[in-house]
Structure 1
Amino acid sequence: MVSDFAKALAQMGDRRFQAVLAKGIGLTLALLVAVYLAFVWIIGAFVPDTFTLPLIGEVAWVDNALSIGSFFFMILLSVFLMVPVASAFTGLFLEEVAEAVEDRYYPGLPEVPRQTLWDITMDSLGFLGVIVAANLVALVLYLLLNVAAPVIFWALNGFLLGREYFQLVAMRRLGREGAKAARARHMPKIWLAGALMAVPLSIPVVNLLIPVLGAATFTHLFMRLEGGRAAP
């Protein structure tokens, strides 16, 4: 699986990879900015410019303080949400990455019917919900077992990334049920490959490459493990 990752890394210069990366990060930033602007609007709409407190008198700075505080809150929130949200958006364009990998390394494969936008969107949102919810729950473990937090993070996200990326890649060739069966056959290897993807999640900026690298790596992994079923 290290070779799968190495092949994916070697193809990062591919224009299709870069296009998906740009779209994923761009949509993620746009969403975070939109959430921030909505939060600022809510503050402006519902927090009065001034109000009076007992013993203190008139207070005229609360809305400004909340607006400034919300900016730093969004910066902090983006640290936790950037990667899962980018992963979800990248899932919308996963077929472009998989096709680029197949064109370069596995020519001659039969074409696959494209998934509908609805199915892709639902799968991506499902992935986003699972990874965000799981990491929010894991925050408790991170706080209680702070020494083991990195290992917990890598193990948890390795499982989630491996499970979801393999499923998304395999569905293109085997269908939903076939992908589930393939995932069950190879879960230990999938988890280990996912953990390999999860380690760079701890590195700022580098972690933004993981959605594209993950899609490419798991395309190679799928072809290595299940290529016989995908071939004509």
Structure 2
Amino acid sequence: MVYIEHQDWTTRSIHMWSAKYGSPFSPLTRALGQLDDPIIVGVVARTVGWSIACFVGLYVVTIWFVHWLLGLHGVAAWATDIIGSIGASFLALWLFLPVAAAIGTMYFDTIAFAVERRFFPYLPPPRGAPAMEQLWDGLAVACRVLLFNFIALVLAMILPGAGLVLGWLIAAYAIGRGLFVAVAMRRMSRNMAESLYRSRRSIVLTSGAILAAASYVPLLNLLIPVVGTAAMVHVLDVAVAAAPIHSRSFS
């Protein structure tokens, strides 16, 4: 894989994208097309399973906490159960993507390996940033998505309509940058990954915007941590292919 000197290669990147993939949606469609891969299916099953388990636990704990805090009985308790159930459901919906992203970070390497085995079998084994640094960055992705989800939620309540659009733009940055840097760090240091992101920001954020939009689609949002990671492997391929030959450093 390659490291790119910090220069403005945006035009070259766009031309390279057109030559290799034809459409900004191609990384996502290729990632979705790999859902027949047993490795990807296994990761999806584990990610969704752990996410559901987390939200069942969250739902139960929220209802119990409301009962314990208010200590109500009879009709008041019944009404509180309904309100608490609605609140717990919204809380679970809001936290779903960050929690799924956090769980998905445990499988970054597995997902990327499956994509590279099918589409880029000529690549050497990855030798990037230290494992703990990669793990920390993956958890940072989940925390960033959680924070921006909260900001998006506040904006949506304050500015209906406009808040939804702003929330989408915020999620595009969080998902795009976070997943791209995490995937790139498998094959380069953090500094190199950050430099590559800055020089290919337009491509990365376009893919982030597409993934953020997909995260609003029921059921498809369950797949975003896995499919998004797979898609970013293709985006990374475009980013490094757009580099001048003299600035490439393989690992």
Scaled by the length of structure 1, the TM-score of the pair is 0.84
User: Which one-letter code corresponds to 1:26 in the other structure?
Assistant: G
CA deviation profile, 1:61-117 (whole Å, cap 9, x unmatched): 544544443333222222222122112211210111100010001112111258777
Aligned equivalents of 1:115, 1:63: Cα separation in 2: 53
Aligned equivalents of 1:153, 1:43: Cα separation in 2: 29
CA deviation profile, 1:32-75 (whole Å, cap 9, x unmatched): 2222333344345555465xxxxxxxxx4544544443333222
Residue matched to 1:33: 56
Residue matched to 2:7: none
Residue matched to 1:96: 110
- Asked which structure has the greater RCO (Cα within 8 Å, sep 6+), the reply is 2
Q: Does 1:42 align with 2:52?
A: no
Residue matched to 1:127: 141
Q: Does 1:77 align with 2:100?
A: no
Contact 1:92/1:120 (<8 A) preserved: no
- Shift of the 25–146 alpha-carbon distance from structure 1 to 2, 3 Å rule, reads same
Q: What is the CA-CA distance between 1:176 and the residue it aligns to?
A: 1.3
User: Which one-letter code corresponds to 1:42 in the other structure?
Assistant: F
Residue matched to 1:219: 233
CA deviation profile, 1:92-149 (whole Å, cap 9, x unmatched): 1011110001000111211125877754543333222211212212333323432323
- Shift of the 169–121 alpha-carbon distance from structure 1 to 2, 3 Å rule, reads closer
1:148 corresponds to which of 142, 153, 162: 162
- Shift of the 107–180 alpha-carbon distance from structure 1 to 2, 3 Å rule, reads same
Residue matched to 1:191: 205
Q: SS where residue 107 of structure 1 aligns?
A: coil
Residue matched to 2:33: 10
- Shift of the 3–48 alpha-carbon distance from structure 1 to 2, 3 Å rule, reads closer
The unaligned stretches of length 5 or more in structure 2 are 1-23
- Shift of the 45–140 alpha-carbon distance from structure 1 to 2, 3 Å rule, reads closer
Aligned equivalents of 1:89, 1:109: Cα separation in 2: 27
Scaled by the length of structure 2, the TM-score of the pair is 0.78
% identical aligned pairs: 28
- Shift of the 117–28 alpha-carbon distance from structure 1 to 2, 3 Å rule, reads farther
- Shift of the 230–14 alpha-carbon distance from structure 1 to 2, 3 Å rule, reads farther
Aligned equivalents of 1:207, 1:230: Cα separation in 2: 35
Contact 2:134/2:186 (<8 A) preserved: no
Residue matched to 2:183: 169
User: Which one-letter code corresponds to 1:164 in the other structure?
Assistant: G
Residue matched to 1:21: 44
Aligned equivalents of 1:142, 1:193: Cα separation in 2: 23
Residue matched to 1:56: none
Contact 1:101/1:219 (<8 A) preserved: yes
Contact 1:36/1:70 (<8 A) preserved: no
The unaligned stretches of length 5 or more in structure 1 are 51-59
- Shift of the 21–116 alpha-carbon distance from structure 1 to 2, 3 Å rule, reads farther
Residue matched to 2:10: none
Total equivalences in the alignment: 223
2:101 corresponds to which of 71, 76, 87: 87
Q: Does 1:157 align with 2:171?
A: yes
